[in-house]
Amino acid sequence: MEVKSQVKEWWDTAEQDYDAIAAHGVHSKEEKELWTEVITQLLGTDQKLKILDMGTGTGFLALLLADMGYEVTGADWAKSKLEKAQEKMERAGKFVNFVVEDAEKLSFEAEQFDAVVSRHLIWTLANPGSAFKEWARVTKPGGKVLTDIPAKRSHPGSHHFGEEIGKELPFYNGADPGEVITMLEAAGLVNVSVRVFNKTMLVEGEKL
């Protein structure tokens, strides 16, 4: 829990300008079109879908999903980031249910969502296998879990949390796609596969 507490404390620093980092949002028309294409291909266009955006941060993906018409819950354990997400939501005139949650221990009842999605999250997790089991648990039968895979050696030792914390995080410096697939299958997902969209590697699995 000490490592998790340190990671949470780092993310929940109110003064931190999360959106100023290019990788943390959609900053161009091209990026928005890319993520709209990705979501459409992987989840379809059924606007009745209930989607959980896990690790929503300041809500860029949740708000994009809401703009596409889905019913969206954006979850994160950093209250300061969710406050900014709420502000962005009000400016956009959309609705997302933003809630405080631990990715590795969700409070939702089982089979609540048609899909669980996450971006730039699994490299921060102390127990990604536990998180995947939770994401599968709250997904409805026939639903999907979708996450991106951080590239190997994508972070220097000092990135964000520092080397001492980083060495305790399994995917801190990137993940092998095969290892992520194995973990998702162990979580009970089937038909797990990897896709690449413009150098972004995504893995999806289905809940039986």
CA distance 3 to 12: 14
CA distance 102 to 40: 27
* CA 178 to each of CA 137, 175, 182, 183, 203: distance values in angstroms, whole numbers, following the listed order: 22, 8, 6, 9, 10
How do beta strands 139-148 and 113-118 pair?
parallel
Instruction: Spell out the per-residue pLDDT of the chain, length 208, in tens.
Output: 588 888 888 778 766 666 656 555 665 787 788 889 989 999 998 888 999 999 999 999 999 999 999 999 999 999 999 999 999 999 999 999 999 999 999 999 999 999 999 998 999 999 999 999 999 999 999 999 999 998 887 666 666 777 788 888 999 989 999 999 999 999 999 999 999 988 889 999 999 9
